Amino acid sequence: MTFPFTAIVGQDEMLTAIIAAAIEPKLSGVLIFGDRGTGKSTAVRALAALLPDIDAVEHCAFHCDPADLTTLCADCRTRLAAGHLPTIKTRIPVVDLPLGATEDRVVGALNLERALADGSKVFEPGLLARAHRGFLYIDEVNLLEDHIVDLLLDVAASGENVVEREGLSLRHPARFVLIGSGNPEEGELRPQLLDRFGLCVDVKTPTDISTRVEVVRRRDAYDTDPQKFTTLYAASNAALRNKILAARQMLPLITVSDGILALGAQLCLALGTDGLRGELTLLRAARALAAYEAAPAVTESHLRQMAAPALRHRLRRDPLDDSLATTRVDRAVADLFAPA
């Protein structure tokens, strides 16, 4: 039983970013910065519970997608050549990567049990394998140890986990939406890792009392009777699920005018973001938002809404100043865009 996504109070920017990442996996992830206890992990788990089951190859350690033959793992390809791939429905994986997870657990390792029992060399899939086609959630991502970050950087960029250890030599697909959360006061994130997250949002504890009361009230109602509470939100959850699915269908059909492209480029130029990833991400995010709102084309308002989450972590920044990124994006948006 999971807290329903639509029962989460406030935190609109975070929820929009997470939904956008669910609509457009190419956004490759969301980084959520903020205080503890603001519902970050609740939102991630709730979204996964909201999304429909996926088709997967039966008995495949990586739950390969039978509809996408290009990303099949070696095992599935062999099975496909020999016959056909039986398909099952499975939940979208949400895998926690705990701080202090060992390399073995993340990458996968030799299955010790099998090796000791019959001497066979069997790969024991790690967290990256389990997260394939789902979400990899890292709480306190800024405290993650460097050697694990290195692993992630490579896999997140290539979509593939290459294992070369203990006499094992194999590769398997590992495409996942990376969700990280943390409190920047407690440690900085390496710029390379920042870059892997398409979107970055700041969450704050709401400061108005009615929102806070509503948060506690709903949580309390859920804790008291989860079944009843979940039923209460079943309809709105289903509506949101359908909206996300429709948006995924629509996504390739959304048009982007030259004017919007130019505006996005101007914005990135004005902010001095490094490379083209900022522009690309901004565009993808705006397109995902347009699809979510069932708009036929990306408009200025979509661009405006996604500018901060897509760009605020890409500014070349003054290491001693952590407060200004959002303000700078807002200012650039205000300068370039016609008043809303």
Binding-residue total with other proteins (CB under 8 A): 57
Segment contacting other proteins by CB under 8 A, of 31-39, 170-178, 241-249, 250-258: 31-39
Segment contacting other proteins by CB under 8 A, of 140-148, 169-177, 229-237, 239-247: 140-148
Contact between 274 and other proteins (CB under 8 A)? no
Identify the residue among 12, 154, 164, 185 touching other proteins (CB under 8 A). Answer: 185
Q: Between 83 and 319, name the residue whose CB sits nearer to other proteins.
A: 319
Can 196 be counted among the known catalytic residues? no
Contact between 180 and other proteins (CB under 8 A)? no
Contact between 322 and other proteins (CB under 8 A)? yes
According to DSSP, the β-strands at 29-34 and 177-182 are parallel
3-state secondary structure of 67: coil
C-alpha 63/C-alpha 86 separation (Å) is: 11
Identify the residue among 253, 316, 323, 338 touching other proteins (CB under 8 A). Answer: 323
Contact between 259 and other proteins (CB under 8 A)? no
Contact between 339 and other proteins (CB under 8 A)? no
C-alpha 329/C-alpha 310 separation (Å) is: 10
Q: How far is the CB of 49 from other proteins (least distance, A)?
A: 13
Going from the C-alpha of 268 to that of each of 192, 265, 298, the distances in angstroms are: 18, 5, 17
3-state secondary structure of 139: strand
Which residue among the candidates 175, 277, 284, 304 is catalytic per the annotation? 277
Q: Is the separation of the CB atoms in 332 and 282 below 8 Å? A: no
Q: Is the separation of the CB atoms in 278 and 317 below 8 Å? A: no
**Burial, 27: exposed, middle or buried (Cβ in 10 Å; 0-12, 13-18, 19+)?**
buried
C-alpha 91/C-alpha 104 separation (Å) is: 24
Residue ranges in contact with other proteins by CB under 8 A: 35-39, 41, 96, 98-100, 102-103, 109-110, 112-113, 115-121, 139-140, 143, 145, 147, 166-167, 184-188, 205, 207, 209, 212-213, 215-217, 219-220, 223-224, 270, 319-323, 328, 331-332, 335
